Amino acid sequence: MAKDYAERASWVIKEAEGALAAANYAICVRRSQEALELSAKAALRRLAIEYPREHDVSEALEAAADRLPDDVRRQLEEIKALSAELARIRGPALYGYEAEGVPASEAFTRDYAARTLDRVKPIVNLLVRFASES
């Protein structure tokens, strides 16, 4: 399961890159969130930890910190911050801010999408590497 999640996380981060290149900033943000979530859950699966059925699994990662490799532990605060931030906006990244009448295509800037992808990609790669180890 961990390897499958990791492979899908790698695929989804490529979709985020493609969305950024195509100027689809909302989809870039959404796919970045999905890649981070999948890779975090892959790491938890690698440790045989049942993750919560939520989009933000940062608390589960924190609880397992002593079982994570040093390079992941060093990034744990960033992982937790990103996971919480992106879990909050995953809905708007797909649907927009409906109450305000702002479609997803207008809700995110290129700068925000690029920064998000730049922050998420190395963490996804790190978690994927760990989850893929035998």
Number of structural domains in the chain: 1
Per-residue pLDDT, 55: 80
Per-residue pLDDT, 50: 81
**83-92: per-residue pLDDT in tens?**
999 999 999 9
CATH number (domain holding residue 23): 1.20.120.330
Count CB atoms within 10 A of the CB of residue 122.
Answer: 11
- What residues make up the domain containing 63? 2-132
**1-40: per-residue pLDDT in tens?**
999 999 999 999 999 999 999 999 999 999 999 999 999 9
Per-residue pLDDT, 134: 62
Closest CA to 35 of 18, 16, 61: 16
Angle at 72 between CA 67 and CA 77, to 5 degrees: 105
Mean pLDDT of 74-81: 95
